[in-house]
Structure 1
Amino acid sequence: MPFNRKAHKFSASIGTVEIGTGDKAIKLGGENVMPFYTFDGSMGDGPKVGVEITDLGLDAEPQGVKDYYAGCTSFADIAKKAEAMPGGDFVVLRLAGGDPNGANKSTEELVAIAKEVSDAISCPLVVEGSKNVEKDAELLPKVAQALEGKNVLLMSAKEENYKAIGAAAALAYNQKVGAESAVDINLAKQLNVVMTQLGVSAQSIVMNTGSAAAGYGFDYTISTFDRVRAAALGQDDKMLQMPIITPVASETWSVKESTAEESDAPEFWGPVEERGIAMEVETAVACLVSASDAVILKHPKSVATISEFIKSLM
């Protein structure tokens, strides 16, 4: 008996959020099918790949990352090289040094770095905070002001600080906002609801519904992706129809599989950097086939691999 495949079509679609300006602006979202079901409908412009850099420079980065940025002497130089990385669609500046429990850089210093990076590139820019809610509530509004007119995406708006970040980024300076929740469909929806009640347009919100490295509670991440996308398309839930962006690099390069020296367990550990690339690629692929409209990576090999993966399925 022949197999007669039935198309899985939805009347709903994921909203489109544009970041950047000019010819290099990109659109996230826009699909009306489950991930890569291009035989049933449209994937919009397709998932995008971001290249992560940080305000902490290159000292702690994997050797392959250092090699790629060899010769860079300023944040502007690093940003230009990130923009030129084959397979990348946008640059992501993670302001990790703002964490009061870490380097505790001042808001003024971090805003200056963000301005330097923004002025050096022509592709879209995404700015992540420090993961400290109080510092980000102070820092990201100042970044939004300094980068007015650049149409950047400011991530790290959480339940505890969304009013400060949302009001400044989307309402005062017409930027886009990343709504970050902790791996729970209800928390993700609630944050979108209160952001829109604040006055932020749904077309200005990108969701970060949580992330983890593959093997580290990753089943919760994937199940949340699946539930969010099923509700958005199958139930036409307007408060879950925002595109999803997932910071992969910061999760995968911090776990033991990416950091443990081969000598720690020579019987089964391979080269440390190869393991890190594998973790980054595997995690990114799983996120993309579940619902992510954009993933954030940092190793040149990972960026190139994931870019080719996306093209092969579009």
Structure 2
Amino acid sequence: MAFKMSVQKYAGRISEVEIGTGEKALKLGGENVMPFYSFDGDCGNTPKMGVEILDVFPENWIEELKNLYKDVAQNSVEWAKFVEKEMKPDFICIKFVGADPNGLNRSAEECAQIAKDVVENIELPLVISGCGNFEKDAKVFEKVAAAVDGKNCLFLAAVEENYKAVGAAAGLAYPHKVGAESSVDINLAKQLNVLLNQLGVKEENIVMNVGCSAVGYGYEYVATTLDRIRLAAFGQNDKTLQMPIMAPVSSEAWSVKESVADVEDAPEWGCKEERGITMEISTASSMIVGGANAVILRHPKSLETMKKFVCELA
């Protein structure tokens, strides 16, 4: 008897979100099947890889990472140009850690000028990330959204405490995309998408950040959340969950002890840089096969490996 392969058909489809302008603009989402299940249907746009830069010198990064960017990391524009030319990611994410009130407390106007200078000197799409203080991020995103008007950036991300300010600035006043950030919970992710939609931000202008953790650090919760979100979006045709997902892998993978412990403290673990790269690749690949449409990375070797990984599977 001839083998007949079973095909799983879904009613739902992930919306397609475009970021950036011109030839380098990218599209996320568009699939109507689980990741890489091309035998079931349309896989949509291939997952995209971005590289993280900061608005300040990365003092808290490990020495090996700082040495990679030491010639350019004092200037965000030069850093972005270096990443675009030498590493060739799909997009660049600038994280405004300098805006942190508990740190440099850089003003929203300063951040806006940096973002404007960066976006005018690169062709790649730009993702704007904040410092993690929801009140300051709202102020920063408002000024930055105006400064990068017309560049179709993604603001990563709006949270429940500031979604009105971020959504109004990045999704309504100016034609950008809004990232909706929740904490590894399908109900929280759905609720924030609904709130943004009620505010007036259209589904095709929303990208989800549903939470991320380094593998081995509660990642099973992330994996099950990704599964539940995607199965609801496809099988139940839940339109409130049919948005692409972007995962900030870099900050998670390079902050765990396996990535930062010195060789002297854990000689049996081997080279610190290699450990960090392995952690970043392991986490990024897990997020991609779990349903993420884009990941943010730090190390060139991680980027190179993930590009090959996606190319082989797509």
So what's the TM-score if we normalise by structure 2?
Answer: 0.96
CA shift for structure 1 position 59: 4.0
- Alignment-derived partner of residue 260 in structure 1: 261
Q: Which runs of 4+ in 1 moved over 4 A?
A: none
- Distance in 2 of aligned mates of 1:81 and 1:246: 23
CA shift for structure 1 position 307: 0.8
- Alignment-derived partner of residue 134 in structure 1: 135
- Alignment-derived partner of residue 207 in structure 1: 208
- Distance in 1 of aligned mates of 2:253 and 2:2: 44
- Distance in 2 of aligned mates of 1:70 and 1:50: 20
- Distance in 1 of aligned mates of 2:190 and 2:225: 11
Contact 2:16 2:27 in 1 (8 A): yes
With over 3 angstroms needed to count, the CA separation of the structure-2 counterparts of 1:85 and 1:49, relative to structure 1, is farther
With over 3 angstroms needed to count, the CA separation of the structure-2 counterparts of 1:282 and 1:60, relative to structure 1, is same
- Distance in 2 of aligned mates of 1:218 and 1:173: 35
Contact 1:246 1:294 in 2 (8 A): yes
Structure 1 range deviating more: 212-221 or 78-87: 78-87
Q: Residues 12-23 of structure 1 correspond to what in structure 2 (within 5 A)?
A: 12-23=12-23
Contact 1:180 1:210 in 2 (8 A): yes
Equivalent residue pairs, number: 313
Structure 1: gaps of 5 or more residues: none
CA shift for structure 1 position 9: 2.0
Q: Residues 53-132 of structure 1 correspond to what in structure 2 (within 5 A)?
A: 53-72=53-72, 74-86=75-87, 88-132=89-133
Q: Secondary structure at the match of 1:35?
A: coil
Determine if the alignment matches structure 1 residue 155 to structure 2 residue 156: yes
Instruction: Provide, for residues 191-219 of structure 1, a one-character-per-residue CA deviation record: whole Å limited to 9, x for no partner.
Output: 00010000001000000001111111111
CA shift for structure 1 position 58: 4.0
- Distance in 1 of aligned mates of 2:174 and 2:313: 37
Contact 1:87 1:308 in 2 (8 A): no
- Distance in 1 of aligned mates of 2:52 and 2:2: 48
CA shift for structure 1 position 182: 0.7
- Distance in 1 of aligned mates of 2:100 and 2:235: 40
Q: Secondary structure at the match of 1:262?
A: coil
Q: Secondary structure at the match of 1:56?
A: coil
Contact 1:83 1:121 in 2 (8 A): yes
- Alignment-derived partner of residue 290 in structure 1: 290
- Distance in 2 of aligned mates of 1:82 and 1:294: 17
Contact 2:11 2:236 in 1 (8 A): no
Amino acid corresponding to residue 61 of structure 1 in structure 2: W
- Distance in 2 of aligned mates of 1:231 and 1:153: 25
CA shift for structure 1 position 63: 4.5
CA shift for structure 1 position 150: 0.2
Instruction: Provide, for residues 4-51 of structure 1, a one-character-per-residue CA deviation record: whole Å limited to 9, x for no partner.
Output: 320122122100000000111000000111001112222212100011
- Distance in 2 of aligned mates of 1:34 and 1:217: 22
- Distance in 1 of aligned mates of 2:2 and 2:263: 52
CA shift for structure 1 position 103: 2.7
- Alignment-derived partner of residue 32 in structure 2: 32
Instruction: Provide, for residues 35-91 of structure 1, a one-character-per-residue CA deviation record: whole Å limited to 9, x for no partner.
Output: 011122222121000110011224443455444435325221100111224451000
CA RMSD of aligned residues (A): 1.4
- Distance in 2 of aligned mates of 1:3 and 1:183: 39
Instruction: Provide, for residues 200-252 of structure 1, a one-character-per-residue CA deviation record: whole Å limited to 9, x for no partner.
Output: 01000000001111111111111111100000001000000000000000111
- Distance in 2 of aligned mates of 1:2 and 1:285: 35
Instruction: Provide, for residues 149-194 of structure 1, a one-character-per-residue CA deviation record: whole Å limited to 9, x for no partner.
Output: 0000001200000000000101000110000001100000000001
- Distance in 2 of aligned mates of 1:8 and 1:297: 32
CA shift for structure 1 position 115: 1.3
Structure 2: gaps of 5 or more residues: none
Q: Secondary structure at the match of 2:191?
A: helix
Determine if the alignment matches structure 1 residue 232 to structure 2 residue 207: no
Q: Secondary structure at the match of 1:196?
A: helix
- Alignment-derived partner of residue 198 in structure 1: 199
**Aligned-residue identity in percent:** 54
- Distance in 2 of aligned mates of 1:121 and 1:17: 20
Q: Secondary structure at the match of 1:296?
A: strand
- Distance in 2 of aligned mates of 1:87 and 1:310: 15
- Distance in 2 of aligned mates of 1:52 and 1:125: 10
Q: Secondary structure at the match of 2:38?
A: coil
- Distance in 2 of aligned mates of 1:37 and 1:258: 32
CA shift for structure 1 position 304: 0.5
- Distance in 2 of aligned mates of 1:86 and 1:80: 10
Determine if the alignment matches structure 1 residue 280 to structure 2 residue 275: no
- Distance in 1 of aligned mates of 2:130 and 2:228: 27
So what's the TM-score if we normalise by structure 1?
Answer: 0.96
Contact 1:55 1:95 in 2 (8 A): yes
